A and B are shown apart, each in its own frame.
Chain A
Amino acid sequence: MGATLIEKIIRRNVHDDSVKAGDIVFVKPDRVMIHDIFIPFVADKFHEMGFKKVWDTDKVVIIYDHMVPASQVDDTRHFRRGDEFAKEQGIEHIHRADGICHQLMPELRYATPGDIVFGTDSHTVTYGGVGAFSTGIGYTEMAGILGTGELWIKVPETIRININGKLRDGVTSKDIILRIIGDLTAAGATYKAMEFAGDTVKEMSVASRLTMANMTIEAGAKCGLFYPDEKTAEFSGVPLDEEHGCFTDDNDGDYAMVLDYKAEDFVPVAACPSQVDKIRPVSELKDIVIDQVFIGSCTNGRLEDLRAAAEILKGKKVAPYVKLIVTPASRSVYLDAVHEGIMKIFNEAGAIIMNPGCGLCCGRSGGILTDGETVVATNNRNFLGRMGTSKVNIYLASPVTAAKSAVAGKITA
């Protein structure tokens, strides 16, 4: 019997080819990421625990994204504390306004195939899109890693998901992952790895895979993994071989569950208020009038997402009562979108273009809503109270659905 991708990645890290699902092992992370919300807590815990020096400064990345630019006076305290800690420890990988952590980690090649990466954020699972094992932890555990360079983990079982065939026009990887979360439910993959394969997945861009990996946490998964291929190797700047962490697919692991999907069966869907697993086809939601549209986040704020939205918005105007908020995922996505003329299209359509960062996704700034208002958003969570009051209706959908809805002023497939 072969091994699952998560087993291969962990075996490489611990130098033990007998490791299998269910084992508890100590791994040495290749990289860790701490963002602005938790950096003061990590720094304080680190000192409280009696540590003096970070185990390996090159392996630590600090990213300010949730609170950039500051919207409350207290926010600046987090930046100051992060800067102090970076200076004190000699940490050079610090990004103060370059974009969302989960975009920057793979984009700047901090997370590459075969790596083990931990971050103080649940969407750290995103880097599974390039074949890295990455997952979220709390600030106390992060402080522990900074001091010791290791963390115990249980090797997760794997849910194998095969997707084959050709997607219909207008259906994106966001529609696929939303449907799968709906099928598995919000707890369906708890403690498990999700492993995606099949020719539909091979056809996808790295960006589309990052979108899917990003949302695996919404089914409770510990990680969501894609086998690296030529596209991944180019994206991550590594040779395509096992020595460099690009593992091949045995398709013969000891899977806890195998799901088979036909690409042709996917349709545009949305997660309805206020559960991520409450999935309905967009065609059943038509005529729901909306107040706002949000295109951005670590789920769908990449160039291909903005491109797909711009294609729909070209030469059109957003409905007069709708606020369309566009938030590129990183500085380089922003710049590429400018060069491609995408930002011009958004601007002429009447969009509000924000700085790269988390923006509205975490509900701290950038377009929060109030009781009775409805938003179509391309991010990953529609939890109660996430984007304002607990009486805001959040529909999660693809950038295509979001852009069409913005023009129509109501949910539209």
Chain B
Amino acid sequence: MGKVFKYGKDVDTDQIIASQYLLYPTIEEMKVHAFESLDSEFIKCVEPGDFIVADENFGCGSSREQAPAVLKACGIKAVLAKSFARIFYRNSINLGVPVIICSDIYDHVKTGDEITLNMEEGYAEVAGVKYSCTKVPEYMKNILDQGGLLASLEKEI
């Protein structure tokens, strides 16, 4: 179980982590600037196991892999959105961050709500109500289970 941070549509990667922080040598130094321009409360309140719920086109904009990387470093368990931008989606899977398409939940939750996610059965639960999510395809689930593309390639080698 974790709590929800709810954001709108077209949340771009500059908002997740701005360009001026991309050169920080470690993700740990970068992550304190996550969502800085959009929501200054995020970094003060986020705890491992929390979730992001968003409207359409989450992660649009630049190809920066640091966007999913800082979410992972902040302990975000999964991002549930109506849809995702293409490069962000690939990068997230490769880094082992679950990105789940969940159309129904957005209109029924608010920031701070408690949420549980069951990826195997494809639903998220808030206040006793289950919302169905798209199941992650097998190939991608294997990458996620092993903690990302790097870990999964290492296992193959």
Contact = CB atoms under 8 A, between A and B. Distances in A.
B9 A187 contact: yes
B128 interface: no
A364 B20 contact: yes
B65 A121 contact: no
B15 A385 contact: yes
B32 interface: no
B18 A385 contact: yes
A140 interface: yes
Contacts of A135: 87
Contact of B10 (A67, A140, A186): A186
A255 to B, nearest CB: 19
A341 interface: no
Contacts of B150: 45, 48-49, 140
B149 interface: yes
Contacts of A45: 150
A296 B86 CA distance: 27
A41 B95 CA distance: 13
Interface in A55-87: 66-67, 72, 74-75, 77-78
A384 B37 contact: yes
B143 to A, nearest CB: 11
A37 B22 CA distance: 7
A196 to B, nearest CB: 19
Given A45-B150, A220-B86, A385-B18, A120 B63 contact: yes
Given A48-B150, A49-B150, A383 B20 contact: no
Nearest to B65: A138
Contacts of A49: 150, 153-154
Contacts, number: 111
A47 B116 CA distance: 37
Interface in A68-115: 72, 74-75, 77-78
Contacts of A410: none
Interface in A272-299: 275, 277
B87 A187 contact: no
Interface string B8-24: 01101011001110111
A66 B64 CA distance: 13
Interface in A205-252: 220, 222
B25 A74 contact: yes
Interface in A365-390: 381, 383-386, 390
14 contacts: A72-B23, A78-B23, A124-B63, A141-B91, A141-B149, A186-B57, A187-B85, A190-B83, A191-B86, A362-B19, A364-B20, A381-B61, A384-B37, A386-B19
